[in-house]
Structure 1
């Protein structure tokens, strides 16, 4: 099945799920969707189609070249081997996603996805307009080097995106323990989108949560600490241009203000929140402050 065929099934499925989520939220008596926020998410999703096309124009010849010089020659394009292709793709996604939170240059594109104060299925569509510029696709270059053909890479990427759509919801609580142990779920991904100190930069998984458990970035959702969504410094804007490019503007300002090469490098590749004058706060700093406040006073 080609990627386009997958999308033909996915888009109607997305629409049905959104309508079902709206019905569920109204049944609960809550506000279904914030209209301006959802409209902004849909606009970002449409703009991402252009960004995706630019990335494809670059990656097809590049990945074709890497595939011609592959280290392994195996039947990666066959249906039998496709589950393993998905595992490799998911591993690459984990590192691309993690570095998109740890490197400000990549965060400048990815922050778009986290900018909504709401967590519903339209949030899944709030995608970057500048992934091509950020080059956060680089970890996927491992796939053609390992002998995975471009068609299989594209299909695996589509399956991953389709899977991740349904986890952007509060309508689904905890799933069976075995499923929560292996796979990314709405509960795990709510943690990822939260700004609570304990949740910052956790649960980067695409399909398999095992990567977070393996690399020490897993955090379960706590009943006594419900997720608060958005980013550390929320935008207060529904303008797609602001949503898509505000962090790039911040990087440019910091580069102009930088007085040392270290400050310039950190403005590009340091963690989001780092500031040369010490006025910023990274996720690690915010979490450390929270832990100090949360610890009981030994004098008591």
Structure 2
């Protein structure tokens, strides 16, 4: 609970700073209806968090007894686990844009025309149950589940601060090793040249390797190409799934 309190405190503090900055700079990056929708989605996600954690623990418990190797925990294996977790995240994230069912869930995160710190928590509730499946191979190989989960948790925390317009381009960092707010603004943009680019979590390295990196150049237009869904959080969560089953474009 103490860790959760610290996490929420940092999250709220970052949001307050961003709001004050947007007022001072007269930047229209927050919409109160959209932010309330984001908060409702975040709250729902927190309420079902124990279920998603239990689901992940159960999946890992099935695989751990049959793991191929007994990989010890040391500095070297922690670094390797982190790098492999980032690779898994890259492909999970990329496939979430390329596979219709996964996109129906990930659509929620992209459907806001506003990009700010509150958008970081705008994640579909079912996504909490699908994403962990992609990490099962790491546990099967023998990487410690605690380090796999820790790597994912660190990456998700880091990504909160990518959802901002306060930070401009960072010289010597853009497009090489670490993901940046500039690179992530590209990922959230619906501009034709930006769509389906910059999938990285903490690292942008794998976008470089697999050819999906694009630097921020023209002004980003946020949201999805199929149009604005609305501010109702249930509608934000359900609409893409309904469209999927109707065979409509999501």
TM-score (norm 2): 0.92
CA contact (8 A) 1:99 1:106 kept: yes
- What does residue 93 of structure 1 align with? 89
1:186 counterpart (173, 181, 189) = 181
Once residues 216 and 9 of structure 1 are traced to their aligned partners in structure 2, the CA distance between those partners, rounded to angstroms, is 37
Alpha-carbon spacing, 1:48–1:252, altered in 2? closer, same or farther (3 Å): same
Change (3 A) 1:28 1:12: same
Are 2:229 and 2:239, in contact at CA under 8 Å, matched by a contact in 1? Answer: no
2:63 is the counterpart of 1:66: yes
Structure 1 runs not aligned, ≥5 long = 255-266, 274-300
State which of 201, 204, 212 in structure 2 corresponds to 1:206.
201
Separation of aligned partners in 2, 1:10 and 1:167: 16
Return the match for 1:121 from 117, 140, 144. Answer: 117
Does the 8 Å CA contact 1:96/1:137 hold for their aligned counterparts? no
Contact 1:44/1:240 (<8 A) preserved? yes
Following TM superposition, by how much is the alpha carbon of 1:100 offset from its aligned partner in structure 2, in angstroms? 0.5
Q: Select the residue among 201, 204, 229 that pairs with 2:222.
A: 229
User: Any idea what the Cα deviations from partners look like across 1:217-259, whole Å, max 9, x if unmatched?
Assistant: 111111xx210000111234101111001111012212xxxxx
Q: CA deviation at 1:37?
A: 0.5
Partner of 2:134: 139
Displacement over 6 Å in runs of 4+: none
Q: Which residue, out of 244, 249, 256, partners 2:242?
A: 249
Equivalents in 1 of 2:191, 2:174: separation in Å?
25
Higher gyration radius (CA): 1
**Hey, what does 1:239 align to over in structure 2?**
232
Does the 8 Å contact 2:230/2:236 carry over to 1?
Answer: yes
Shift of 1:209: 0.3
Shift of 1:143: 1.9
8 Å CA contact 2:174–2:183 kept in 1: the answer is no
2:38 equivalent to 1:45: no
User: Is it true that 1:31 corresponds to 2:24 in the alignment?
Assistant: no
Distance, in Å, in 2 between the alignment partners of 1:164 and 1:112 is 16
Q: Give me the whole-angstrom Cα distance separating, in 2, the residues matched to 1:84 and 1:9.
A: 28
Q: CA deviation at 1:80?
A: 5.7
Q: Point out where structure 2 has 5 or more consecutive residues left out of the alignment.
A: none
For residue 180 of structure 1, report the CA deviation from its aligned partner.
4.2
Secondary structure at the counterpart of residue 193 of structure 2 = helix
Indicate yes or no: 2:148 matched with 1:168.
Answer: no
